[in-house]
Amino acid sequence: MAGKIEVTEEMFIPAENNFQEADRISRPTISYWSDVWRRLRANKLAMTGLVLIILLCLMAIFGPYMNGFTYYEQDFTKKNLAPNAEHWFGTDASGRDLFTRAWYGARISLFIGLMAALIDFMLGVIYGGISAIRGGRTDNIMMRIAEVIYSIPYLLMVILIMVVLKPGIFPIIIAMTITGWIPMARLVRGQVLQLKENEYVQAAKVAGAKLSWTLRKHLIPNSMGPILVNVTLTIPTAIFAEATLSFLGLGIQPPQASWGSLTNDALGSILIGNFYQLAIPALLISLTMFAFNVLGDGLQDALDPKLRE
């Protein structure tokens, strides 16, 4: 408040006329991605999602080995047991250990979700990228085709393809990616078209940059944000589609398990009061969907510079 300011001689010495020193940036630069990460970290819901996803992935990797049972081993003397010290999640109608099956199912469900999202991503980037860079007539035709395929109901097509293919993990991934890449292609095309018009891209072109350079340095890094959000939100869609397929009996076949098929198997048992058989896979699917959805939403917010505070 009333603190006296000590005035000394040195304060009156003229400053050195050093421009280089004045222009020096004294704080470390925050890159775009570390800025995004900073904003994402502040979002509690999104971080909960991220932590849940990491936990689910760890359990999918190690869970099936944790209590010494296998996912296919049947023991008819131990049918429909409630959760206990030996069988942590109880057993199913064939006496299989549900803890192992639930995490083995996690492995399959997450694998299918990740693979489908990855393939959709690659196909979408290639198709959308070519369409946008070529432009003109090629673009028009490619996008019309995509639009028509997109109008066909997704789940209907997936189910139809599964009728033809033999049930299994890879046929499911194929069925889901045959039509699943289109939203990504449209997104990539929109992004690239928008970026192509930006001054810095034009400037690069004028300066004689090759297409590969423009792609690597400008187009790809700058369109990464929305694409990442889309990938994050494709994973729960794929997991949901797989669960629905398995629930209808078209997906994963026993003795293999996925969350969808576990829910389907448990349907019969709720009438005899074994609710836990249903509750566990149901909870796991819901948690996964929740985690990916809130992470996707959080990423979307974190990537949006307009929401910067």
Partner 1 sequence: MLKYVLHRFMWAIITLWATITITFIIMHSIPGDPFAKEGTMPESVYENLQRHYNLDKPKIVQYFFYLKQVALLDFGPSLKSKTLTVNDYIEKGFPVSFHLGAQAMIIAVFFGLILGVIASLYRKRWPDYTSMIIAIIGISVPSFVLATLLINFLAVKWSFFPVATWKSWSHTVLPSIALAMMPLAYIARLMRTSMIEVLNQDYILTAKAKGLRKNAVIIKHAIRNALMPVVTILGILTANVVTGSFVIEHIFGIPGIGEMFVKGIMNRDYPVILGSTVFYSAILIFLIFIVDVVYTWIDPRIKVTGASK
Among left, alpha and beta (phi > 0; psi -120 to 50; other), residue 10 is alpha
Query: Which CB, 5 or 163, lies closer to partner 1?
Result: 163
Q: Which x/- pattern over 129-158 shows residues binding partner 1 (rule: CB under 8 A)? A: ------------------xxx-xxxxxxx-
Least distance to partner 1, CB of residue 303, Å: 16
Query: Which CB, 133 or 174, lies closer to partner 1?
Result: 174
Least distance to partner 1, CB of residue 294, Å: 7
Residue 276 engages partner 1 in binding (rule: CB under 8 A): no
Which of 40, 93, 228, 287 touches partner 1 (CB under 8 A)? 287
Which of 99, 247, 252, 256 touches partner 1 (CB under 8 A)? 247
Residue 52 engages partner 1 in binding (rule: CB under 8 A): no
Angle at which helix 275-303 crosses helix 44-62, to 10 degrees, equals 130
Residue with tokens 């035709």: 141
Least distance to partner 1, CB of residue 51, Å: 16
Least distance to partner 1, CB of residue 254, Å: 16
Closest CA relative to residue 228, chosen from 301, 135, 307, 148: 301
Query: Which CB, 126 or 159, lies closer to partner 1?
Result: 159
Cβ atoms 90, 84 nearer than 8 A: yes
Rounded Cα gap, residues 118 and 155, in angstroms: 19
C-alpha radius of gyration, the chain, whole number: 27
Angle at which helix 220-247 crosses helix 169-180, to 10 degrees, equals 130
Least distance to partner 1, CB of residue 62, Å: 24
Number of residues lying near partner 1 (CB under 8 A): 37
Residue 51 engages partner 1 in binding (rule: CB under 8 A): no
Q: Which x/- pattern over 77-116 shows residues binding partner 1 (rule: CB under 8 A)? A: ----------------------------------------
The three-class DSSP label of residue 257 is coil
CB atoms within 10 A of CB 8: 8
* Sequence-distant (≥ 6) Cβ neighbours of residue 303 within 8 angstroms: 36, 225, 226, 228, 229
Which of 116, 250, 252, 299 touches partner 1 (CB under 8 A)? 250
Which of 2, 5, 7, 163 touches partner 1 (CB under 8 A)? 163
- Please tell me whether the peptide bond between 153 and the residue prior to it is cis, using omega within 30 degrees of 0: no
What is the secondary structure of 115-132 as a DSSP string?
HHHHHHHHHHHHHHHHHH
Residues that bind partner 1 (CB under 8 A): 147-149, 151-157, 159-161, 163-164, 240, 243-244, 247-250, 263, 266-267, 270-271, 275, 278, 282, 285-287, 289-290, 293-294
